[in-house]
A = this chain, B = another copy of it.
Amino acid sequence: MSNMSRCLISQVEVQNFIERCMMAVGTKQHHARSLAEVLVEGDHRGHYSHGLNRMDMYVKDIQTGICAKDGEPVVEKESAATALVDGKNLLGPVVGNFCMNLAIKKAKEVGIGWVVAHGSNHYGIAGYYAMQALKENMIGMSFTNTSPLVVPTRGKECTLGTNPISVAAPAKDGDSFVLDMATSAVALGKVELHERRGDPIPEGWGCDAQGKLTPDPKKVLSGGGLVPIGGSEATGGYKGYGLGMMVEVFCGILAGAKYSKHVRTWKVTDRVANLGQCFVAINPENFAPGFSDRMSDLLSIQRGMDSADANTPVLTAGDPERMNMKKCEELGGIPYHINVVNYMNECAKKIGASPLLPCDKLVPI
């Protein structure tokens, strides 16, 4: 692939394209925009597995009616600091924005807002919602359960999703800490990429159908599964398993949504997803003064230390995404593989939406 290139597309155009495709199948405009904003932010931050690349999945969800195209989320139960929301089977970002706004509103009043939703759908990158709190100088958190893809320590069946955790905390001058991580050792997409290339995977990414760690990506993808962060039991995989369970407690269990192996199979949209999600905002004003100064110092301590290898500086969570966004700004757009652009334009054609308009520039891979 080294002699191929990538198309550069402006962020605005990617967002408009997703919006018009979603509207072409009947999504309300403000719902389509919510989804488009989350997906383009995924690509902008370098998480291509959670961006434009997944648009066809959302289009299909609306087309088949498995995801609702009309209505708004509803608060079912509420206190000054908490809420339970029925997502009404709307697009994940519609539910996510509704809940995160509510959490921030509560945190302004009583210092914290803890909002959980059932009846939701895939919501893109978890970090998008956590980061909304940064605009208000608050800590934000977001969690979602997902289809079963992870095998618990000692087990040989996928009974947990990749159940991500995101925590964002504001530092000075727009700087921030943004943790956005699956509780599996790696994302499924990384294993798929190794399989396509015919490369082995590092020990500690996935297991075969017998629950044994394997370097063979094929075995992970057919009958096996991802393993929790930490890998084997000896290296602490039970901790990643425990964190995946924690996310399930905050999401499926607290919200009364589907959970664990009751969540529908990944990419099989035979029934409503009914995902559980959790959104939290915490106002540092309710705690010790000087929060953002200490955050900046904490980030400086890590970034400023000597690194083991001079070519790879010590980073903090959110720095790789920051570097990717800077690259996009320098290029003047988001670089996409030509195959992705062609595939998405095929999708658009089928539903009568106008195609993506790439910039003239091509970027070497």
A84 and B288 contact, CB distance less than 8 A: yes
A288 and B81 contact, CB distance less than 8 A: no
CA distance A154 to B313 in the complex (A): 7
For window 235-255 of A, CB contacts with B under 8 Å fall at 235-236, 238-243, 245-246, 248-249, 252-255
Per-residue contact bits, chain A 73-102, to B (CB 8 Å; 1 contact, 0 not): 000010111101000000000000000000
B82 and A305 contact, CB distance less than 8 A: no
Residues of B within 8 A of A309 (CB): 154, 211
A231 and B204 contact, CB distance less than 8 A: yes
The 7 closest A-B pairs by CB, nearest first: A256-B288, A211-B308, A82-B111, A81-B81, A179-B242, A242-B317, A204-B235
Q: Does A57 reach chain B (CB closer than 8 Å)?
A: no
Q: Does A205 reach chain B (CB closer than 8 Å)?
A: yes
Given A210-B308, A259-B298, 15 more contacts at CB 8 Å? A77-B287, A111-B114, A152-B314, A155-B305, A156-B305, A157-B305, A185-B235, A186-B236, A202-B235, A203-B235, A205-B235, A211-B309, A242-B317, A253-B291, A256-B294
B204 and A81 contact, CB distance less than 8 A: no
A253 and B80 contact, CB distance less than 8 A: no
Q: How far is the CB of A293 from chain B (nearest CB, A)?
A: 10
CA distance A297 to B240 in the complex (A): 20
Q: Does A15 reach chain B (CB closer than 8 Å)?
A: no
Of B110, B167, B179, B254, the residue contacting A81 (CB under 8 A) is: B110
Of B80, B139, B238, the residue contacting A110 (CB under 8 A) is: B80
Given A288-B118, A308-B211, residue A301 in contact with residue B234 (CB < 8 A): no
A314 and B154 contact, CB distance less than 8 A: yes
Q: Tell me the A residues contacting B by CB distance below 8 Å.
A: 77, 79-82, 84, 110-112, 114, 116, 118, 139, 152-157, 159, 165, 167, 169, 177, 179, 181, 185-186, 202-205, 207, 210-212, 229-231, 234-236, 238-243, 245-246, 248-249, 252-256, 259-261, 282-284, 286-291, 294-295, 297-298, 301-302, 305-309, 312-317
A298 and B248 contact, CB distance less than 8 A: yes
Residues of B within 8 A of A283 (CB): 82
Q: How many copies of this protein are present in the complex?
A: 2
Q: How far is the CB of A55 from chain B (nearest CB, A)?
A: 27
CA distance A165 to B246 in the complex (A): 11
Q: How far is the CB of A357 from chain B (nearest CB, A)?
A: 36
A286 and B235 contact, CB distance less than 8 A: no
Of B111, B204, B246, B307, the residue contacting A156 (CB under 8 A) is: B307
A315 and B249 contact, CB distance less than 8 A: no
Residues of B within 8 A of A242 (CB): 179, 181, 317
Of B81, B205, B212, B229, the residue contacting A111 (CB under 8 A) is: B81
Residues of B within 8 A of A152 (CB): 302, 305, 314
Residues of B within 8 A of A186 (CB): 236
A255 and B305 contact, CB distance less than 8 A: no
Of B153, B260, B308, the residue contacting A155 (CB under 8 A) is: B308
Given A167-B246, A308-B210, residue A185 in contact with residue B236 (CB < 8 A): yes
Residues of B within 8 A of A289 (CB): 256
Of B210, B229, B314, the residue contacting A230 (CB under 8 A) is: B229
